[in-house]
Structure 1
């Protein structure tokens, strides 16, 4: 069997509604790896909010974080590592216009840490922390961040995105997170998951036609489009489904990914 690179999104795809990888999905993904394939996580989450899944699946493959802004081999030196960042000045400029942009909070993060402009009203789970520390305030941001997270209200999200994109059009892209909160993620211009997965495929000498990708949201568009075989979850957005080679029969809450891979790879 030809070795495949299987790129998996986390939220809404590999994770169930409780944001967990079920025992069944874990078992199937481990089988996929023992059959000689490579499973690689490609997520919008920072590494500190996805490392537990990397460990649970006992992966040794490179992974993509921040929607492509960081491609790395966790806890190791890797010659293909790539990290993109946003100018620190852009973060401070957005913070200055916080009220005009109708933002509830502004956060900046990189591989290991996050900085937020205020502690009140910020839910620690956004940053996978038990509590938000006063030392993590924005004024301590001394280097260029990998990504910015902005919280707003659903009714302002598209207007705020447009304002940011027109003001910093050559430097940033703005992505929306799916889910109950209106979170805008600001990444360096042109950065998306497919770029990161392509670096991984090239490093492993796996041709593009042997890349299988799974996703559910608009931040997966380029990835699903890039993959030799792009699979969208049954619970995925209609926009994304228009790029799919196939759609799973079951949702992320019914082990749809595991179910699909088991049949597709005849495990």
Structure 2
């Protein structure tokens, strides 16, 4: 079989409901690599919140973080590396409108660090840390962040999204995270996972038709549309299933990705 680039989303796709990669999923992704295919993570998470999965899978491939705002080969110099950022004034402007937007917190992130508007009531695990300190407060944000993370409630998410897009139309796009929390991720305009995966495919000399992509959420739309073979998770959104070539029989909590890949690649 032709060498494939397998682009995998994390939350709601590769990870189960406990945000873990099961032994079975790990085994099948390892088998795919042993068969000569390349596995590449394409996630909305920053690297510090996806590094453990990169290591668990023993990957040495480039990856996409922040929904495409960062494309890199972890811990290495890579000639194709790409990074985009948002004007930090947008972060402060959103923060000023926190109450009218019904936001629980406003955070700004870049590759190495994160900044949040309050310490109280913000769960450190959102930022893959044990504790949030004074140094992590938004007033210390001096550079343009790679992305913004906004927590709201599910009933407000669609409204907040459209209002943000209206207000900062030329500068940002808004993505939703998979999983139980209503997290909105604000990325630079035009940035999405497909752009990042395309950089990776080109760097490896892999044709678009040989890209297989798995996802479950709104932020995977362009990726599944771009891929030669786009697979929506059974637990994915209806909108995503409409652009996908196929969907898994099982959910992310039933090793749906592993099950599909094992059959599709005859592992």
TMscore range, shorter length: over 0.9
How many residues end up aligned between the 2 structures? Answer: 267
The unaligned stretches of length 5 or more in structure 2 are none
1:95-244 matches, within 5 Å, as 95-244=95-244
Structure 1 partner of 2:254:
254
Partner Cα distance (1:160, 1:234) in 2? 27
Deviations 1:13-55 (A, max 9, x none): 1111111111111111111111111100000110000000000
Structure 1 partner of 2:8:
8
Partner Cα distance (1:217, 1:37) in 2? 24
Partner Cα distance (1:187, 1:116) in 2? 16
CA drift at 1:199? 0.3
Structure 1 partner of 2:74:
74
Partner Cα distance (1:20, 1:225) in 2? 26
Partner Cα distance (1:179, 1:16) in 2? 10
Partner Cα distance (2:154, 2:199) in 1? 34
- Give me the CA root mean square deviation: 1.0
Structure 2 partner of 1:47:
47
Partner Cα distance (1:156, 1:257) in 2? 30
CA drift at 1:101? 1.9
Contact map agreement 2:11 2:178 (CA 8 A) in 1: no
The unaligned stretches of length 5 or more in structure 1 are none
TM-score normalised to the size of structure 1? 0.98
Partner Cα distance (1:68, 1:118) in 2? 27
Partner Cα distance (1:215, 1:32) in 2? 18
Residues 1:88 and 2:88 are matched in the alignment: yes
